[in-house]
Structure 1
């Protein structure tokens, strides 16, 4: 993707520049000589070109290529009844690529699903970063380093809260690890013959508090 961010509660927050298209499609963060790979819409159902399996309510199944809400089988049979109680299973996803020239703007994106405010693509003579209008050199949709930095700042503002939570998680994990290490050390000291008064003095608490804290722990 691009920019590594915090991981909170198992959720990664990795950012990148998301190419935007006129019809609302978004780039997936991959480019090649074919252009920009289009991201799949979550729970958007089959897309044209996908190989799908249909399972009808009474049991029969059919496999073929999805095209405009119909399934085309290799033998030429067309299954047009693909709605209602029919279950769709995408067996193989088709890739959709679009040319760089079709990119109409950019937004900061994050793997958590967040998207920033769009930046509009304009000809070089109309570029105005203060108005969120950016240009590229030539037909390619890759931003110059300074403009990518501007887009990245949107993502940096997005992850501020997540970074703070990551620090809380890390501090809590360190505290828990230290508590386990202290428990192990106390048990070892008791086995070696230390008294509760010794344990209390070493841990900065009274011998009674030490007894209450560790005497019931195995």
Structure 2
């Protein structure tokens, strides 16, 4: 499962980690798919530039984003007794699919959201700036219409919440 930012510039997921440190791109019925050929694992039939690493050999998980960001490592441990969420250690049975547990995936998702936080916040700034500019243009047009209808600079200033002189200085040359 992956996540996409509001601006579609970031796509993140909980990637499995191979023993050599590579991060998974996907999975198949035979194991996890990793780009690159180490010669240690068999090649995927559908994607010849990928190797299939058996689920039992996955050593952990980390967040990954298409922009290149990577989260911190979550270690896969070999017994339930060794699992310690506070120390980024989780147990997934070697007989099961090597995907991160829901708890680890949620933690990785939170890390990824912190990674994209600044760009998500900027989207709000950009939207507010667009609205501000649109409102400014609308105000300029309505002031011109009010002046054309006979309103005084004092009336316009009072409507906007500024002085007569400030209204005149701001809009007189836009007539």
2:79 to 124, 127, 140: 124
Number of equivalences: 163
Please report how far the alpha carbon of residue 94 of structure 1 lies from its aligned counterpart in structure 2 after TM superposition. 4.8
Question: Is 1:197 aligned to 2:154, yes or no?
Answer: yes
Please report how far the alpha carbon of residue 182 of structure 1 lies from its aligned counterpart in structure 2 after TM superposition. 1.6
CA distance, structure 2, for counterparts of residue 131 and residue 120 of structure 1: 9
Task: Tell me the TM-score normalised to structure 2 length.
Answer: 0.74
What are the ranges of 5 or more consecutive residues in structure 2 without an aligned counterpart? 38-46
Question: Is 1:33 aligned to 2:33, yes or no?
Answer: no
Match of 1:71 in 2: none
1:24 to 18, 21, 25: 21
Return the structure number with greater strand share. 1
RMSD of aligned Cα (Å):
2.8
User: Which secondary structure does the structure 2 equivalent of 1:106 belong to?
Assistant: strand
User: Which secondary structure does the structure 2 equivalent of 1:117 belong to?
Assistant: coil
Question: Is 1:96 aligned to 2:70, yes or no?
Answer: no
User: Which secondary structure does the structure 1 equivalent of 2:96 belong to?
Assistant: coil
Return the structure number with greater helix share. 2
Please report how far the alpha carbon of residue 198 of structure 1 lies from its aligned counterpart in structure 2 after TM superposition. 2.4
Please report how far the alpha carbon of residue 163 of structure 1 lies from its aligned counterpart in structure 2 after TM superposition. 3.7
Task: Tell me the TM-score normalised to structure 1 length.
Answer: 0.62
CA distance, structure 2, for counterparts of residue 113 and residue 174 of structure 1: 33
CA distance, structure 2, for counterparts of residue 25 and residue 149 of structure 1: 21
Match of 2:10 in 1: 13
1:164-195 deviation digits (Å, cap 9, x = unpaired)? 33333333232222222222322333333333
Please report how far the alpha carbon of residue 140 of structure 1 lies from its aligned counterpart in structure 2 after TM superposition. 0.8
Match of 1:154 in 2: 111
Match of 1:69 in 2: none
Q: In 2 relative to 1, CA 139–170 (structure 1 residues): closer, same or farther, beyond 3 Å?
A: same
CA distance, structure 1, for counterparts of residue 24 and residue 145 of structure 2: 58
What are the ranges of 5 or more consecutive residues in structure 1 without an aligned counterpart? 40-46, 49-92
Match of 1:140 in 2: 97
